[in-house]
Amino acid sequence: MPGFTYPELPLDGLLRAAAARDPDGHAVTTAGTATVSFAGLDADADRIAHHLRRTVGRGATVAVAGALDAVFPAAYYGTARAGCTVALVNPLLSEAALHHVFTAARIEAALVPTALAERLTKLSDRLPALRTVLVTDADDGVVPADAVPLGAALRSVPEEPFGLGDGPADVDAVVCVQFTTGTTGRPKGVRLTHRNLVANAAQIAHAHRLGPDAVTVNHLPLFHTMHLNSAVYAGPTRCCARTPTRWPRWTWPPAPAPPTTTGCPPGCTASPPTPASTAPPGPCATGRSPS
């Protein structure tokens, strides 16, 4: 892009910068859970980075399931911060595709929800490189055999910023492997560098005119990292919409359920249109339009 300056940052530097710029700003909001601030998200990423550096070490490839929750961003940036390569994993992959992704990427650790951890347990004898499965949604501590609740794994990590003694990251190093969906064949992995992802975040934020007053909504089945990175770069609130009936007017298709403001920014009084409405989604009643 002519005249556009790209930040010289590692991938996790996007989150570190956001936490320094607006520590109390709303980073991620999901239906039914509290909003996570940029500072809180950054601290969670630090804790995950501490654990991964201690257990699998720098350079390992770590699977992070793209679940639509507030744990995914912390796991994504924390894995990158640890000096590991993030292998993005679709939790809806078939068993054959899952086996292919884990063997092709030589994945050594995985941060996944319970349902996916159960499937990995069944594949364990065919995944010799996989050493650790951390379950991201096991609040009650009940996990499949040989897996570990993420919360339990993080209890002993230092409560301090990670990487204070590390030198500057190589922004041209591969930090992420993103796989295709596999609809026309086996999933294919694409290697992405820190520079690739940071430049993409800046481009998307610029193209969509994102800023701290914006609200972005993810209504895909997965947490899409391009939109996550651009939101962290620019500072808007990131809303994760799992269920259409629980989100306000801008959600499509229109919800027949009673009006609700769950997950809407503070002060929102918007309600979904009636099922017969064909009007395009409008702005939130707070005046903050989602992107």
Residue 226, token pair as written in the block: 């391009």
| Residue 114 φ/ψ, nearest 5 degrees | -55, -45
Dist CA 13 CA 173 (whole Å): 14
Q: What angle do CA 55, 59, 64 make, to 5 degrees?
A: 70
Dist CA 172 CA 111 (whole Å): 25
Return the closest-CA partner of residue 29 out of 263, 291, 211: 263
Q: What share of residues in the chain are helix, strand, coil (percent, to 5)?
A: 30, 15, 50
What percentage of the chain has pLDDT greater than the value 70? 80
Return the closest-CA partner of residue 30 out of 283, 205, 229, 228: 228
Using an 8 Å Cβ cutoff, are 257 and 226 in contact? Answer: no
Using an 8 Å Cβ cutoff, are 92 and 70 in contact? Answer: no
Question: What's CA 16's distance to the chain center, in Å?
Answer: 15
Which residue pairs from 130-133 have beta carbons closer than 8 angstroms and sit at least 24 positions apart in sequence?
A: 130/102, 131/55, 131/56, 132/55, 132/56, 132/108, 133/109
pLDDT band of 2, cuts 50, 70, 90: low
**pLDDT tens by residue, 159-174:** 899 987 677 889 999 9
User: Tokens 């010799």 correspond to what residue?
Assistant: 128
Return the closest-CA partner of residue 55 out of 155, 132, 147: 132
- C-alpha separations of 118 from 114, 143, 148, 236 in Å: 6, 8, 12, 35
Question: What's CA 94's distance to the chain center, in Å?
Answer: 21
**pLDDT tens by residue, 108-153:** 999 999 999 999 999 999 999 999 999 999 977 889 988 999 999 9
**pLDDT tens by residue, 190-236:** 999 999 999 999 999 999 999 988 888 887 778 889 989 999 999 98
279 or 60, which is more confident: 60
Using an 8 Å Cβ cutoff, are 13 and 171 in contact? Answer: no
